[in-house]
Amino acid sequence: MVRRAGAADADEAGVPGLDLSNCSAPMRQGHAEGHRSPTEQRVRRRHGRSDGAPADADQGMEVPPEQQTPEGFAVYLKSEMDKWGAIIRESGIKAQ
């Protein structure tokens, strides 16, 4: 799916800050940040396109460089937890 040319994003549509995109990262058991395991390294190598660009680069959905490192993604994950934790508590949504 490729973003339609000329399609407005949320800012242009009059709702600044609305962001429903999300990043996926391989995660494994362990308590400290550290090197990528061989499995994680293979996932990252194989996800890119043949020209070396990220697979989503032509869809306006490329992963920001700062989130491509374990340390950067940990910061992003915490910010997502803080943001969505507040929204979910406010909504009262629970699994039933």
Partner 1 sequence: MSASWSSRCGPRSASRSWSRNNGGAGGVTGINRVARAAPDGYTISVGPWGTHVVNAFVYSTPYDLAAGFRNGGAAAKRAALVHRAEKPAAEGLQGVIAYLKENSGKVTAASVGAGGSSAVCGYYFGKATAPAPRWCLSRRRTGVAGYRPRQRRMMCDLAANSLAQVRAGTIKAMR
Residues that bind partner 1 (CB under 8 A): 1, 3-4, 7-10, 12-15, 17-18, 20-34, 36-44, 46-47, 54-56, 61-64, 67-70, 72-74, 76-78, 80-81, 84-85, 87-89, 91, 93-96
User: Is the Cβ–Cβ distance between 55 and 63 less than 8 Å?
Assistant: no
The H or E element that residue 38 is part of is helix 38-47
Query: Can you tell me the distance from the alpha carbon of 86 to that of 89, in angstroms, rounded to the nearest whole number?
Result: 5
**Shortest separation between residue 89's beta carbon and partner 1, angstroms:** 7
